[in-house]
Structure 1
């Protein structure tokens, strides 16, 4: 009876061990042979957000989707694509959220313009205030 239970337990555990050994993303944890290509891949991976972790780049995350994305980046770099082509493809597939480097578009231009407008208003208010004090003395 003990042997039968042990045999059933091993049979149920076998797929778990096989799944750990099998990798669907060949470059998830393996670097490219060409150091220049690997540097490009690493630089790009540090600017891409892990979709599962949301607070880490795919270079830092251990989430399965981050491993798949690292592998994808390395495969495309190896195939000769530029980092910007890969970024554009990932943004098209996953949306702007995947990139830590936001793009200037028709929808995002206010996010870039508002800080400048606020600085201009602050400058004008301070200038007016100090000009009025200087003229009054």
Structure 2
């Protein structure tokens, strides 16, 4: 199991058995390295920020990961997308535009072996540096 994050290290010791890589998934060389010769790839990549940043990360970066996975011979791809929210979607359209663009490309590339999961809003906290932070920060 290979895991990729910006820091390249597991957020908790429970995840330390995976091989961890540090990468910016918007850099094509790092994407190819991260995907390697994987049989299956799961992308949980998502971000908030400016409209351009959200489209870049949620759309273009996820699309690049899916294309690299397909080129490397991966037979399955799972993408954590986002459920439709109506009002919320109107507040941050670029977030959803990026996710939907990735959904479409993953479906095109992988057909029935491309799984799109659209969870509802995720609540809770995450470990960051020396403390826990709300997921929305």
Would you say same fold, with TM above 0.5?
Answer: no
Higher strand share: 2
TM-score calculated relative to the size of structure 2: 0.23
Larger radius of gyration: 1
Alignment TM-score, normalising by the size of structure 1: 0.23
Kindly indicate which of the two structures has a greater share of residues assigned to helix: 1
